[in-house]
Amino acid sequence: PHGIQDVLRQLGVEAENAAYSTGRNWGGSANAERRTINAPADGRRIASVAFATTEDYDTVVKTAQEAFKTWSLVPAPKRGEIVRQIGNKLREYKEPLGKLVSVEMGKILQEGLGEVQEMIDICDFAVGLSRQLHGFTMHSERPAHRMYEQYQPLGLVGIISAFNFPVAVWSWNAMLAAVCGDVSIWKPSEKTPLTAVAVQHIIRDVLVENDIPEGVFSTIIGGADIGAAMAADRRVPLVSATGSTRMGRKVGEVVGARLGRALLELGGNNAIIVTKNADLDIAIRAIVFGAVGTAGQRCTSTRRVIIEDSIFEEVKTRLLAIYPKLPIGHPLQEGTLVGPLIDGDAVKMFSEALTKVQAEGGQLLTGGEVLSSTELNGGNYVQPALVEVENHYHTVQEETFAPILYLIRYSGGVENAIALQNDVRQGLSSSIFTLNMREAEAFLAANGSDCGIANVNIGTSGAEIGGAFGGEKETGGGRESGSDAWKIYMRRQTNTINYSTELPLAQGIKFDV
């Protein structure tokens, strides 16, 4: 259906049976455990993949270590040139890769294509960055001394990515790591390995054409044991992990125990504040995109709307007019805005959260049904839900990775709304809709939003790659993608050089021998 076998062939996915790739070569044991990947849209088999063993993992790490020795010595702008070519290859394959993202993950085609665009954008960003890995110079307190700092390649970067952005998050990490002189090992989500295999095929041409050593970009398909091995592995100085707070806590603890670096991008509980000074036309559009886009499966998805009392009924009425009519259906079908959830477990979590929140006093306003009609072909579809709640409910405090939007009322000044928005354990994304400058600035002040992302008159999701992406508290504190997020991929070194005939000591210390 929908020509997916053609797409797989075009991307070379059908041809491979291996559990890992170190660039051009694929490997893995012939009697490896195999997993069948079914489309969330209709439950039909797309393809199967082999799972790597921990021995495979060791082979990949050793190859990567070898590759680092040469790759780290390639001048950064030359490394950027390889990333430029990867970006061009992704431009060539944007359609089929976007389509495969859509079929394997379930997000609508527009968002699948958007995800590949996000990869292309980060390639462009990384190419520019390859000439801008700047350190500071400073003035020494000692005569005839020079002081500066430089950034050196760090080593192996482990990338654990989630199903919801199966390829873009890899590119944020792998492209920055590459220009920084690092080599990367990608463990994609076990729910979405096919897109990872496809990406490895797409970049293989570039690696072959440029004679790039084996092991600069590796991918290893496997389960939680591979992620755990990576977290514990001293040969991997940086582990970048995207996913649930539960997973990230484990990775963070294990990496922390060996004093490695962990870059964590975990759960969100993102809120939009709507004050009486909001432009409601744009606020409603942002709320709906944030809450039901990607079927509520972005870490930046809007989970809560905190609405001023005097406009609460109006916002609720306008959302209630939209929600029952949302076009739900096959992600490749033109006009669909809400695709399926990733799998049956996700559907179960959606239903359970709705049961629990109602038991706590939440009022289900619309939606919440599991859709199993024949025209939806047995996919994992649900009807997005709106629930009127109070912020302190346990269910509201948790992130449910599904299209459930909680409506919360506030009265008094904007500081009351900000207090509610901050009163959760997660701290990823936040936004306010207001045309009032005092409210907007209060939201952005030191005692305003405590999140890594705080927007005005823009929703919580759909960040551009140019900014640093990530959040505080249980979101894990990491920053990926733009701005100076590259620094975590490098080893920072301060250098002081004495070109005098004396040996003056810092702080004026006298020590005559």
Catalytic residues: 265
Burial group, residue 490, by CB count within 10 angstroms (0-12, 13-18, 19+): buried
Per-position x/- string for 95-134, each x denoting binding to ligand UN1 as judged by CB under 6 A, each - no binding: -----------------------x----------------
CB 300, min distance to ligand UN1, A: 4
Query: By rule CB under 6 A, what count of residues binds ligand UN1?
Result: 11
Residue with tokens 């091995």: 229
Verify binding: residue 462, ligand UN1, rule CB under 6 A: yes
Residue 302 binding ligand UN1, by CB under 6 A? no
Q: Is the separation of the CB atoms in 358 and 386 below 8 Å?
A: no
- Residues 94/110, Cβ–Cβ less than 8 Å: no
Give the x/- contact pattern for ligand UN1 in 257-296, rule: CB under 6 A: ----------------------------------------
User: Would you give the binding string for ligand UN1 spanning residues 360-379, x where CB under 6 A is met?
Assistant: --------------------
Contact region for ligand UN1 (CB under 6 A) — 178-186, 389-397, 419-427, 459-467?
459-467
Q: Strand 453-456 relative to strand 429-433: parallel, antiparallel, unpaired?
A: parallel
**CB of residue 467 to ligand UN1, shortest distance in Å:** 9
Site residues for ligand UN1, 478-507, by CB under 6 A, read none
Stretch that binds ligand UN1, among 89-97, 162-170, 212-220, 245-253 (CB under 6 A): 162-170
Contact between 475 and ligand UN1 per CB under 6 A: no
d(CA 161, CA 170): 6
Residues 6+ apart with CB under 8 A from 201: 11, 12, 13, 16
How far is it, in rounded angstroms, from Cα 469 to Cα 185? 21
Q: What are the two backbone dihedrals, phi and then psi, of residue 111, each rounded to the nearest 5 degrees?
A: -80, -30
Strand 453-456 and strand 270-274: the pairing is unpaired
Q: How far is CA 147 from CA 144, 457, 467, 499, 509, in A?
A: 10, 44, 30, 11, 19
The answer to whether residue 463 forms part of the interface with ligand UN1 (CB under 6 A) is yes
Q: Which of residues 58-77 bind ligand UN1 (CB under 6 A)?
A: none
CB 161, min distance to ligand UN1, A? 9
Tell the smallest beta-carbon distance from residue 388 to ligand UN1 (Å): 25
Nearer to ligand UN1, 102 or 366 (CB): 102
Should residue 299 be labelled a site residue for ligand UN1 when binding is judged by CB under 6 A? yes
**Minimum CB separation from ligand UN1 for residue 109, in Å?**
17
Which residue lies nearer to ligand UN1 by CB, 154 or 463? 463
**CA 442 to CA 422: how far, in whole Å?**
13
Cα(371)–Cα(333) distance, integer angstroms: 17
* β-pair type (156-160, 238-242): parallel
Phi-psi region of 140 (alpha: psi -120 to 50; beta: other; left: phi over 0): beta
Torsion over CA: 50, 41, 166, 12 (sign):
positive
Spatial distance between the Cα atoms of 59 and 55, rounded to a whole number of angstroms:
6
Q: Is 85 in the site for ligand UN1 (CB under 6 A)?
A: no
Kindly tell me which of 199 and 463 has the beta carbon lying closer to ligand UN1. Answer: 463
- Percentages helix, strand, coil for the chain (3-state, rounded to 5) are 40, 20, 40
End-to-end CA distance of the chain: 83
Q: Which of 300, 302, 421, 431 binds ligand UN1 (CB under 6 A)?
A: 300
Q: How far is the CB of 160 from ligand UN1 (least distance, A)?
A: 12
What amino acid is encoded at 444 in this protein?
L
Q: Which residue is nearest to ligand UN1 (CB)?
A: 463
Nearest to 251 by CA among 280, 275, 226: 226
Name the nearest CA neighbour of 227 among 247, 207, 203: 247
Using the contact rule CB under 6 A, the part of the chain among 74-82, 98-106, 444-452, 457-465 near ligand UN1 is 457-465
Which is closer to ligand UN1, CB of 7 or CB of 108?
A: 108
Residue nearer to ligand UN1 on the CB measure, 463 or 490: 463
- Nearest-Å Rg of the Cα atoms of the chain is 24
Residue 173 found at the interface with ligand UN1 (CB under 6 A): no
User: Rounded to the nearest whole angstrom, what is the least distance from the CB of residue 369 to ligand UN1 in the complex?
Assistant: 25
Nearer to ligand UN1, 19 or 266 (CB): 266
Instruction: Give the one residue of 10, 130, 164, 475 binding ligand UN1; rule: CB under 6 A.
Output: 164
Helices (H), 40-167: 54-71, 76-92, 94-105, 109-129
Q: Per-residue x/- marks for ligand UN1, 391-430, CB under 6 A?
A: ----------------------------------------
Contact with ligand UN1 (CB under 6 A) among 200, 455, 461, 475: 461
357 sits in which H/E element: helix 344-359
Q: Which is nearer to ligand UN1, 21 or 429 (CB)?
A: 429
The 10 Å Cβ neighbour count of residue 449 is 23
Part of the chain binding ligand UN1 (CB under 6 A), chosen from 325-333, 390-398, 461-469, 493-501: 461-469
List the one residue from 79, 191, 298, 303 that touches ligand UN1 (CB under 6 A): 298
* Least distance to ligand UN1, CB of residue 212, Å: 28
DSSP secondary structure string for all residues of 39-63? -TTT--EEEEEEPPPHHHHHHHHHH
- State the residues that interact with ligand UN1 by CB under 6 A: 118, 164-165, 169, 242, 298-300, 461-463
